[in-house]
Amino acid sequence: MISLVQLRTQLEQSFPPLACDCSLTGDSSLTVKLYHPTSGQVDLVVSGLSVVNLRTPDAVAALVEELRYELESNNLRQLGPL
């Protein structure tokens, strides 16, 4: 089982060159914000992630892949129609 500290560390180190902030809310859900460290421009914010579902390395790896997919999708939308 992964501790909350390990979970945050793994997420926050998974998206270079973007910065990642993780915050825990009172209802034990996680918010992940991915942004450019120099400009502060936010690329993605995901809220309401259940910490209970992120207690294994496989679950965290799946979340990282899902967030990368969302980032890629957002970047494609910003480019506009081809």
- What is the arithmetic mean of pLDDT over 46-57? 91
Reply yes or no on whether the pLDDT at 49 is more than 60.
yes
pLDDT on residue 81: 52
What single DSSP character describes residue 13?
Answer: T
Q: Which residue has the higher pLDDT, 74 or 17?
A: 17
Structural domain boundaries of the chain?
4-79
Separation of alpha carbons 11 and 75, rounded Å: 20
What single DSSP character describes residue 48?
Answer: E
